[in-house]
Amino acid sequence: MKSTLLILCVLVCASATAFADVLTLKSGDRVTGSLVTVKGETLTLKSDTMGTLTIPIAKIATYSVDKPVAVFVKGREPMEGTLELTPTGDWKLTEKTTTETISAAKVDTIMPAADYEKLFLATPRPWEAWKGAASLGESVQHGNQEANTFTTTIGAIRERPAAPVFQKHTRTNFNFTALLSHAAQDGSTVTTHTLSAMLRQDYLLSATNFVFGLAQLDHISTEGLYMRQTYGGGFGRQIVKTPKTSFNVIGGLTAQHEKFFTGLSDETLDGLIGENLLEQFTKRIALTHNLNFYPNFTEGGQYRFDTTTTLAIKLSNKFSFTTNAIDLYLSNPPAGNEKNNITLSLGIGYTF
């Protein structure tokens, strides 16, 4: 009985090893694990015992992958097959009955074929694969005036592929802001609503440059604005990208149609200059800032801008305490309406 159990244990261990790839270093050490990706001159391997390892290819003596991989070579369509590292440092790819040696210098990326299919071939539903944060805040005032203001903001990004292992990929940005305020004093009440939703699609030309198209809808009752539709596009660039700081700028042209509560409406051609800043001060404290400035080319001297600043302090992995400052400005609102719509709020944020 004991010998039978021992044989079973040996077979289980052997089968577990058989499903993993074996990598031999030039020093003679052997590492067992599963391929994550090959990018440039490094290979990333996931080992059950040592976690995720990044190994320079120059230090590898032998390595082969039995499960199908996807190989991306500059100027060619993706190829799939089994892979082996040759003594010269190049890659030997076997597709069914065909074997080809590929120069390491021409390889952009290598990854498991299953991962490639998930990242590139699978199409998520409209509400899937988003990453971002949402916040809820409310302020209440009691005294001569009874007032309360509800604030919510959502900022989300979806990248395709989900892991940007290549320079060229797409990125969808969605932002939503809602400010709902109600005040009562001496028998009279005032209710104001501010709603703004923006969808921007980025197409990355390189690691730092991209072109974009956007659509935005605004309703700002304090400015007398019933509905503003904005459509446009332009060029963007990532100026700074570090583990703690990200800074992007955009510029372009937009066409706008505005309708006010007074019944007036206009159509204008505007420019667009914007920036986005993310500063991670500590693991728990982060600042985000967005600014979009629209100079009016149709009516010279007129302009508008919208800006949002959020300071978030993490309470847990998903929840945080947030402070929001939102400013929506229009230089030429109808008579009797304010140019500025400024809101400060405290609330709870959720990361998804």
For 236-283, the DSSP string reads EEEEEE-SSEEEEEEEEEEEEEEEETTS-EEEEEEEEEEEEEEEE-SS
The predicted pLDDT at position 229 comes to 97
Report pLDDT for 233: 97
Specify the CATH number of the domain 21-120. Answer: 2.30.30
**Domain range summary for the chain, segments of one domain joined by +:** 21-120, 127-351
Please give the pLDDT value at position 47: 84
Main-chain phi, psi angles of 89, to 5 degrees:
95, 0
pLDDT at 249: 96
Domain 127-351: state its class.
mainly beta
SS3 content of the chain, % helix, strand, coil (to 5): 10, 65, 25
Residue with tokens 């074996």: 22
What is the predicted pLDDT for the residue at 168?
A: 54
pLDDT per position in the chain (352 positions), as tens? 444 444 334 333 433 344 468 888 889 888 888 888 888 788 898 888 888 888 998 899 989 887 888 888 877 778 888 889 888 888 999 887 889 898 888 888 888 888 877 766 667 778 888 888 899 887 665 555 566 778 888 999 988 776 555 555 788 999 999 988 877 766 777 788 889 999 999 998 887 899 999 999 999 988 889 999 999 999 999 999 898 999 999 999 999 999 999 988 999 999 999 999 999 999 999 999 999 999 999 998 999 999 999 999 999 989 999 998 888 899 988 888 888 888 888 889 999 8
d(CA 6, CA 140): 70
pLDDT reported for residue 115: 80
Rounded Cα gap, residues 108 and 81, in angstroms: 16
Record the pTM.
Answer: 0.68
How far does Cα 74 stand from its chain's mean position?
25
